[in-house]
């Protein structure tokens, strides 16, 4: 394994151990912190996909039911749906259920709820192209087999005791590569990645939606899909997990 990735994973584990030592955390304070972080995650994840709601607008839409003038119904639904999908992955992680294709379809159904009723939670039946990418997603008739193989490989990685952050990265990377849905693949992939991280005692990775961060994110995925080198994406996710852990611990007063 790349020495830099090994070092990053060791830091992830040190921070995870630090967080574990602080548990159980005060429930009421923890809920307020996690709710605020969930709004930030919803804002950034949607911003990656072109949603123009600001962080404050996202909070008002999700928590206050406010309608923002000049913003589309889709943008409102994307915020509400993503917040509900975060609740879903938190509950799922807490209950320790096995991740399956059904899990992925349920996350996707939440992401596209009320936006695309026909395709929410269903694999695509048409070919697609990803704007700005050289990667051509597989033809629709291949998707069922690819998704089966995807789940088999995921379980093999667990059996091989691959580091949880690398498994989470693989879940995101491979789901985006297969691109099984007509829309909502990015959000679903990031939610699946974070579901796995939560299940294993880590915190949600909040990949940013700034122009610079988005370019780095898409470039790393492109290198993985076209050149078959996932290391850049693994580093990006591990660094983002470390940043999220530091922020989480600093809010809790668990960092100097």
Active site residues: 179
Q: pLDDT class for 256, splitting at 50, 70, 90?
A: very low
How high does pLDDT run on average in the chain? 95
User: By percentage, how much of the chain surpasses pLDDT 90?
Assistant: 87
Q: pLDDT class for 96, splitting at 50, 70, 90?
A: confident
Average pLDDT over residues 198-221: 96
Q: Is the pLDDT of residue 155 over 50?
A: yes
Q: Kindly report, residue by residue over 44-59, the tens digit of the pLDDT.
A: 999 999 999 999 999 9
Q: Is the pLDDT of residue 211 over 90?
A: yes
pLDDT of residue 181: 98
Q: Is the pLDDT of residue 255 over 60?
A: no
pLDDT of residue 198: 96
Tokens 């123009």, located at residue:
52
Domain harbouring 62, CATH code: 1.10.3290.10
DSSP the chain: --HHHHHHHHHHHHHHHHHHHHPSPPHHHHHHHHHHHHHHHHHHHHHHTT----HHHHHIIIII-PPPTTS-HHHHHHHHHHHHHHHHHHHHHHHTPPP-HHHHHHHHHHHTTTT-TTTTTS--SS----TT-S--PPPGGGHHHHHHHHHHHHHHHHHTT--HHHHHHHHHHHHHHH--SSS-HHHHHHHHHHHHHHHTT--------SHHHHHHHHHHHHHHHHH--THHHHHHHHHHHHHHHHHHHHHHT---
Domain limits at 109? 3-252
pLDDT of residue 251: 87
Weakest mean pLDDT among 29-33, 53-57, 153-157, 197-201: 29-33
pLDDT of residue 30: 80
Q: Is the pLDDT of residue 24 over 80?
A: no
Average pLDDT over residues 173-185: 97
Tally the domains of the chain.
1
Weakest mean pLDDT among 8-12, 19-23, 38-42, 123-127: 19-23
């Amino acid at each position: 394994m790349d020495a830099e990735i090994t070092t990053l994973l060791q830091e992830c584990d040190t921070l995870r151990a630090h967080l574990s030592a602080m548990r159980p955390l005060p429930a009421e304070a923890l809920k307020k912190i996690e709710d605020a972080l969930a709004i930030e995650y919803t804002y950034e994840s949607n911003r990656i996909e072109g949603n123009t709601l600001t962080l404050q607008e996202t909070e008002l839409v999700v928590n206050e039911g406010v309608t923002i003038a000049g913003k589309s119904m889709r943008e409102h639904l994307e915020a509400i749906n993503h917040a509900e999908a975060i609740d879903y992955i938190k509950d799922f992680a807490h209950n320790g259920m096995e991740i399956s294709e059904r899990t992925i379809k349920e996350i996707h159904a939440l992401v596209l709820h009320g936006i695309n009723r026909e395709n929410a939670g269903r694999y695509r039946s048409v070919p697609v192209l990803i704007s700005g990418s050289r990667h051509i997603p597989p033809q629709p008739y291949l998707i069922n087999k690819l998704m089966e193989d995807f789940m088999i490989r995921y379980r093999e990685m667990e059996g091989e005791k691959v580091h949880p952050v690398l498994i989470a990265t693989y879940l995101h990377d491979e789901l985006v590569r297969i691109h099984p849905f007509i829309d909502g693949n990015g959000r679903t992939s990031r939610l699946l990645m974070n579901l796995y991280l939560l299940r294993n005692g880590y915190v949600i990775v909040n990949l940013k939606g700034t122009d610079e961060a988005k370019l780095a994110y898409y470039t790393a995925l492109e290198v993985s899909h076209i050149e078959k080198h996932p290391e850049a994406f693994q580093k990006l996710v591990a660094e983002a997990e470390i940043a999220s852990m530091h922020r989480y611990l600093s809010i809790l007063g668990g960092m100097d």
